Amino acid sequence: MSDFLRSYLTVGIFGLIGVALVGVFLGLGKILRPNKPTLAKTEAYESGVEPTGDMWSQANIRYYVFALLFVMFDVEAVFIFPWATRLEAYGTFGLIEMAIFIFILLLGLLYAWRKGVLKWA
């Protein structure tokens, strides 16, 4: 138990350093930079074109299919991840089992493709 947690201490330290770096640099920038806001400066930059409309607009419903596809293959990744840690031990057996697993899920992607939901028309 303890060795397990000690190995994760490294992860924790890395995480803390990451958060601290962002905090230090953003804080340092806030201290060092001059703050003279004008109307033009506070406007959102959009490729040099003047922004129009509200900051929020309703997204196209088409995006939702991609979100759903992502969720499915994310769950697939959950199963691939432990397999990848032991791939060498399983050898050909593991490769075939995972190939079957991925093949069955690829049928779903094939279905999505055939139904034209991946097409941006």
For another protein, the closer of residues 35 and 58 by Cβ is: 58
SS3 for 49? strand
Distance CA 105, CA 64 (A): 19
Nearest-approach distance from CB 2 to another protein, in angstroms: 5
Stretch that binds another protein, among 23-31, 32-40, 42-50, 68-76 (CB under 8 A): 68-76
- What the block records as the tokens of 79 is 């199963």
Does residue 52 belong to the site contacting another protein (CB under 8 A)? no
- Whether the Cβ atoms of residue 91 and residue 98 lie closer than 8 Å to each other: no
3-state secondary structure of 58: coil
For residue 17, the minimal CB distance to another protein (Å) is 16
| Member of 36, 63, 120, 121 binding another protein (CB under 8 A) | 63
Q: What count of residues does the chain have? A: 121
102 CB burial (10 A radius; 0-12, 13-18, 19+): middle
Q: For residue 61, count CB atoms less than 10 angstroms from its CB and return exposed for 0-12, middle for 13-18, buried for 19 or more.
A: exposed
Considering only residues 83 to 102 of the shown chain, the ones binding another protein according to CB under 8 A are: 83, 85-86, 89-90, 93-94, 97, 100-102
Nearer to another protein, 12 or 51 (CB): 12
The residues of the shown chain that bind another protein, judged by CB under 8 A, are 1-2, 4-6, 8, 12, 55-56, 58-59, 61-65, 67-72, 74-79, 81-83, 85-86, 89-90, 93-94, 97, 100-102, 104-105, 107-109, 111-112, 115, 117
